[in-house]
Amino acid sequence: MFGIRLMFLLAVMGGIIAFIADKLGSKIGKKKLSVFGLRPHDTSVLLTVLSGVLISLFSVGILAVSSESARTALFGMEKLQKELFRLTAEKNSAEEEYNKAMVSLKEKNAAIAELDKEIQKVNEDKATAEGNLAAANNSLNEVRGQYEATQGALVNAKNEVQSLTEARNKLNEEIKGLKQETKALEQGLAVMRGGQMMYGSGEIVFVGILQGGRSEEENLKQMKWLFESANTSAMNRIGLDPGSKASLVWVPEEESVRLLRILEKAKGNVLVRMRSLANTVIGQPVLCAMEVIPNRLIFKDGEKIHQKVIDMNGKEMTPDQSFMTFLKEVNERSVKAGVLPDPMTGKVGNMSAVTMVETVTKMQRMGGKILLTAYADGNITTAGPVQLRLHLARAAHLP
């Protein structure tokens, strides 16, 4: 509404000024007035120009008086332009700062995302560590339980060891006394019977295989069979009738108790070797100790034990010596593998003289280089004996 009123006011004012100028021009024209020495016509034109100037000046003055915006547009434009330039520069600067801030914000957001990932990973590691800690605590509790159980078992074992030590000491005392008695008896009986020896010290009286893990009653039956078999073997040694009731083998009670405990704890077969503790002549009881060893499988039936190339044309050893050396090597390999040798001879088996002669004869007939191979003839356990099946082949025909 203000703009309409202002336009109306300017139109009215312009019309009035034009009317006055027209009237003045008419008067000047009629009266032929002159200003500044001008002609009347020129004076009229000058008056018309002045009236237009006045109209403009009054229009501007009215605008300046009636509107602050018009005054600013008329008199403060240069200031406005300077302010506009300043604001534009500040705007550009603010936009640059904004862009920099946005770039920094993106970088910080990326860094925050990385930190979030690291925090997530740390949380996962923490959860894993807590799980491991819980598992470790459970394991620790189990170990503590096992430790307590082991401590109890250790106490029992110590008590058992103490009992066994006392029994061993008692047995040693008995053995010492028996050795003294045996020595005196040996001297007396050697004179009476010309010193005919029955068993040497450490010589095997009997070897038996017992089964572990059975009831006490069954274990006692097995031990009874072992002692009776050892006694029968001793009677056969001196030519006594096995049907007689002679008791030649004597085993200390502590040894019997020890064997019974071993059988109760054993899970498989055990090898029991009854060995003479001292030189025994005919007429003396054979005092025996028992050597208990797990009886495991050493060689399977048909398994190769030893193989060697023998040159029959060689002059270092005769065929007999070469063959005996081969058997010695078989014996050493068997002992090393776990077969128990005879404590008196160190051998793990015997081969008949006929087999030895036949093998050497066959080697001589073949001549040249011979590949001699020894295979297990049946399953061979710790108890032995090592039974062999020999195979001869020409070394030159081997691939």
pLDDT of 192 reads 42
190 part of a folded domain: no
181 part of a folded domain: no
91 part of a folded domain: no
* DSSP 8-state assignment for residue 396: G
Q: Which residue has the tokens 């020409």?
A: 394
Co-location of 325 and 374 in the same domain? yes
H/E element, 239: none
Co-location of 315 and 392 in the same domain? yes
**Stated pTM of the model:** 0.43
Residue 201 has pLDDT above 70, yes or no: yes
Co-location of 285 and 340 in the same domain? no
Co-location of 315 and 379 in the same domain? yes
pLDDT of 255 reads 86
Of 295, 319, 341, the one marking the end of a domain is 295
Which alpha helices (H) appear in the chain, and where do they start and end? Answer: 2-31, 40-66, 68-75, 77-192, 216-238, 253-265, 319-337, 353-366
Higher pLDDT, residue 143 or 179: 143
Considering just the CA atoms, what is the radius of gyration of the chain in Å? 65
Distances in whole angstroms, Cα of residue 161 to Cα of each of 156, 261, 263, 264, 292: 8, 13, 17, 17, 18
pLDDT of 366 reads 84
Co-location of 289 and 333 in the same domain? no
375 part of a folded domain: yes
Co-location of 209 and 279 in the same domain? yes
Residue 135 has pLDDT above 70, yes or no: yes
Sheet with 304-311, strands from edge to edge, namely: 304-311, 369-376, 388-394
Write out the two tokens for 187: 């001297």
361 part of a folded domain: yes
Of 295, 315, 350, the one marking the end of a domain is 295
Domain count, the chain: 3
Residue 374 has pLDDT above 50, yes or no: yes
Co-location of 321 and 248 in the same domain? no
pLDDT of 14 reads 72
pLDDT tens across 106-134, in order? 888 888 888 888 888 888 888 888 888 88
With beta carbons less than 8 A apart as the criterion, state whether 382 and 295 touch: yes
Residue 199 has pLDDT above 80, yes or no: yes
304 part of a folded domain: yes
Co-location of 389 and 332 in the same domain? yes
- The pLDDT-based confidence of 181 (bands split at 50, 70, 90) is low
Residue 191 has pLDDT above 50, yes or no: no
Name the residue range of residue 264's domain.
Answer: 196-295
* 342 Ramachandran zone, left/alpha/beta (phi>0; psi -120 to 50): beta
pLDDT tens across 208-263, in order? 888 888 888 888 998 889 888 888 888 888 877 777 777 888 888 888 888 888 88
312 part of a folded domain: yes
Residue 381 has pLDDT above 60, yes or no: yes
Co-location of 310 and 260 in the same domain? no
- The pLDDT-based confidence of 64 (bands split at 50, 70, 90) is low
Higher pLDDT, residue 381 or 191: 381
Spatial neighbors of 302 by CB under 8 A, at least 6 apart, are 375, 376, 389
- Averaged over 33-49, what is the pLDDT? 69
Write out the two tokens for 96: 């640059």
- The pLDDT-based confidence of 317 (bands split at 50, 70, 90) is confident
Co-location of 277 and 218 in the same domain? yes
- The pLDDT-based confidence of 399 (bands split at 50, 70, 90) is very low
DSSP string, 32-87: T--STT--HHHHHHHHHHHHHHHHHHHHHHHHHHH-HHHHHHHHSHHHHHHHHHHH
pLDDT of 76 reads 64
Co-location of 350 and 386 in the same domain? yes
77-81, 320-324, 369-373: least confident range:
77-81
Of 75, 104, 132, the one marking the end of a domain is 75
9 part of a folded domain: yes
Co-location of 286 and 303 in the same domain? no
